[in-house]
């Protein structure tokens, strides 16, 4: 039987499958941010090193004020401490760190595509629910929780249950003034906010094909608002 793009990527990353349906997946890219500190703390408490530091990338995007250009300029001591901790963890564990003064810092889901970290066919995770954004580039990408972040850091793998496949076809051309967000909101309006629960959604059709990368990223990003595990194009 023919496979969907999601199924092909999934199958290529299976390391081990248990009898209960849990599958151990190899992770190609792990994106971290200033909210990933719990994972580093867990590794330290267990005396573990990062399994694949060269495949781990960090940028502060959850707690940083948008009005500053350096960590030292952050007035709130708690927020400044969180970003300082990311700087220290990046140095200690030897990961790629795109700090405030690097000229490459930004939202993780934009930094990944901009810097060529996100590539078609890879499996990418990040401790953020909207990691599905990266699916716009043909990657299988999804958000993970704090304990899962630590597991990926320690092993470069993750236990998951395989989502079901869903294909959403958008025919025709978009009318004047209709943007990608209108499209995904219309889709959610039809299937409901839980309509894609437990599914990896692949978007197809002329309207999707005609979209630029920004529009495709918007579509995949908001798959989460439909309850989906991941969105892909």
Count other C-beta atoms under 10 Å from residue 38's C-beta: 14
Is the pLDDT confidence value at 1 over 80?
A: no
What mean pLDDT, rounded, does the chain reach? Answer: 97
Cβ proximity of 139 and 38 under 8 Å = no
CB 129 within 8 A of CB 36: no
**What is the sign, positive or negative, of the torsion defined by CA atoms of 145, 20, 198, 123?**
positive
Q: For the segment 159-171, what is each residue's pLDDT rounded down to a tens digit?
A: 999 999 999 999 9
Segment 73-116, tens digit of pLDDT: 999 999 999 999 999 999 999 999 999 999 999 999 999 999 99
Give the global pTM. 0.95
- What mean pLDDT comes out for the span 37-52? 96
Rounded CA-CA distance 14/176 in Å is 44
pLDDT of residue 174: 96
Of all residues in the chain, the percent with pLDDT exceeding 70 is 100
Tally of CB atoms within 10 A around 154: 16
Phi then psi for residue 24, to 5 deg, are -90, 120
């Amino acid at each position: 039987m023919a496979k969907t793009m999601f199924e092909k990527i999934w199958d290529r990353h299976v390391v081990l499958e248990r009898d209960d349906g849990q599958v151990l997946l190899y992770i190609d890219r792990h994106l971290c941010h200033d909210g990933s500190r719990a994972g580093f703390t867990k590794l330290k408490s267990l005396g573990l090193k990062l399994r694949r530091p060269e495949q781990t990338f960090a940028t502060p995007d959850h707690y940083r004020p948008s009005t500053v250009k350096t960590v030292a300029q952050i007035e709130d001591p708690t927020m400044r401490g969180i970003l300082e901790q990311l700087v220290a963890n990046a140095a200690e564990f030897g990961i790629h760190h795109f700090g405030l003064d690097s000229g490459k810092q930004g939202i993780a889901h934009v930094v990944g595509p901009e810097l060529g970290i996100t590539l078609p066919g890879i499996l990418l995770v990040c401790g953020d629910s909207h990691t599905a954004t990266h699916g716009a580039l043909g990657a299988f990408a999804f958000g993970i929780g704090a304990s899962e972040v630590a597991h990926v850091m320690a092993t470069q793998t993750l236990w998951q249950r395989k989502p079901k496949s869903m294909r959403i076809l958008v025919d025709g051309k978009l009318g004047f003034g209709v943007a990608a967000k209108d499209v995904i909101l219309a889709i959610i309006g039809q299937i409901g906010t839980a309509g894609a629960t437990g599914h990896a959604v692949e978007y197809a059709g002329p309207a999707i094909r005609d979209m630029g990368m920004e529009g495709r990223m918007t579509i995949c990003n908001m798959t989460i608002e439909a309850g989906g595990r991941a969105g892909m194009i």
